[in-house]
């Protein structure tokens, strides 16, 4: 019973909407609600939060009746490495400069793929670093240092 619930697609979708709705309504309590005539900043979010909760409950109910299961396959490797490569890009843009940031981004994201050929990725990195520098730094004149500290 429990394990079936854990894989129930609509059950979790409903939970997700209810979660967003409740959180929004809770946070919006901190904003002035106002009245219909003079809507405060809390009016619309509270309203939306309520609608989301209602939808969430309906979707969850449908899910319990229908019992459709989550079937899509997911590559955990890609799910972890791709967002992580973006985060590293963000950090390196601040601390190390444009070129190191791109290089790490390419290598990390290539690792997320099904196949990793070192030489190929190295060549791709070379091409993309030149192309991106040409387009963004010289072409569009974005003010980022290619390499920090030099």
Partner 1 sequence: MDILHNLYFGFGVALSLQNLLYCFIGVLVGTLIGVLPGIGPMATIAMLLPITYNVPPVAALIMLAGIYYGAQYGGSTTSILVNLPGETSSVVTCIDGYQMARQGRAGVALAIAAIGSFVAGTICTMLIAMFGPSIAGIALKFGSPEYFSLMLMGLVTAAILAQGDMLKSLAMVFLGLMLGIVGSDVDTGVKRFCFGFFELADGIGFVTIAIGIFAVGEIIFNLSDPEERQVFTSRVGSLYPTRQDLKQAIAPILRGTAFGAFFGILPGTGPSIASFGSYMIEKKLAKDPSRFGHGAIEGVAGPESANNADAQCKFIPMLTLGIPASGTMALMLGALMIHGITPGPSVMVQQPALFWGLIASMWIGNLMLVVLNLPLVGLWVSLLKVPYRLLFPAIMVFSAIGIYSTNNTSFDIYLTAFFGVLGIMWRLLGCSPIPLLLGFVLGPMMEENLRRALQVSEGDPTVFFTRPISLAFLIVTVLILIVMVMPAVRKRRDDIAG
Residues numbered 3 to 22 that lie near partner 1 (CB under 8 A) are 9-10, 12-13, 16-17, 20
- Counting every residue written for the chain, the total comes to 150
Among residues 39, 109, 36, which one has the least CA distance to residue 75? 109
Give the separation between CA 102 and CA 129, rounded to whole angstroms: 7
Select the residue interacting with partner 1 from 142, 145, 146, 147 (CB under 8 A).
142
Residue 86 as a binder of partner 1 (CB under 8 A): the answer is yes
**Least distance from C-beta 33 to partner 1, angstroms?**
12
Nearer to partner 1, 67 or 78 (CB): 78
Build a one-symbol-per-residue string for 91-120: x at contacts with partner 1 by CB under 8 A, - elsewhere.
Answer: x-xx------xx--xx--xx-xxxx-x--x
Distances in Å between the Cα of 76 and the Cα atoms of 24, 73, 85, 88, 114 are 29, 9, 14, 18, 12
**Least distance from C-beta 70 to partner 1, angstroms?**
6
- Cα distance between the two ends of the chain: 62
**Least distance from C-beta 53 to partner 1, angstroms?**
10
Residues numbered 18 to 47 that lie near partner 1 (CB under 8 A) are 20, 24, 27-28, 31-32, 35-41, 43-45
**Residue 103 phi/psi, 5° resolution?**
-60, -45
Q: How many residues bind partner 1 (CB under 8 A)?
A: 70
3 state DSSP class of 34: strand
Select the residue interacting with partner 1 from 1, 2, 65, 72 (CB under 8 A).
72
**Residue 96 phi/psi, 5° resolution?**
-120, -20
Token pair for residue 54?
């209602």
């Amino acid at each position: 019973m429990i394990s079936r619930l854990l894989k129930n697609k609509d059950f979790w979708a409903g939970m997700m909407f209810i979660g967003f709705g409740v959180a929004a309504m809770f946070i919006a309590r901190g904003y002035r609600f106002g009245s219909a005539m003079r809507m405060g900043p809390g009016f619309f979010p509270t309203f939306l939060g309520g609608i989301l909760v209602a939808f969430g409950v309906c979707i969850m109910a449908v899910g319990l009746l229908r019992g459709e299961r989550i079937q899509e396959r997911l590559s955990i490797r890609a799910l972890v490495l791709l967002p992580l490569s973006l985060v590293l890009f963000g950090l390196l843009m601040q601390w190390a400069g444009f070129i190191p940031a791109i290089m790490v981004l390419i290598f990390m994201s290539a690792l997320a793929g099904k196949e990793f050929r070192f030489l190929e990725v190295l060549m791709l990195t070379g091409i993309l670093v030149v192309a991106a520098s040409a387009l963004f730094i010289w072409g569009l004149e974005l003010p980022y240092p290619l390499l920090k500290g030099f």
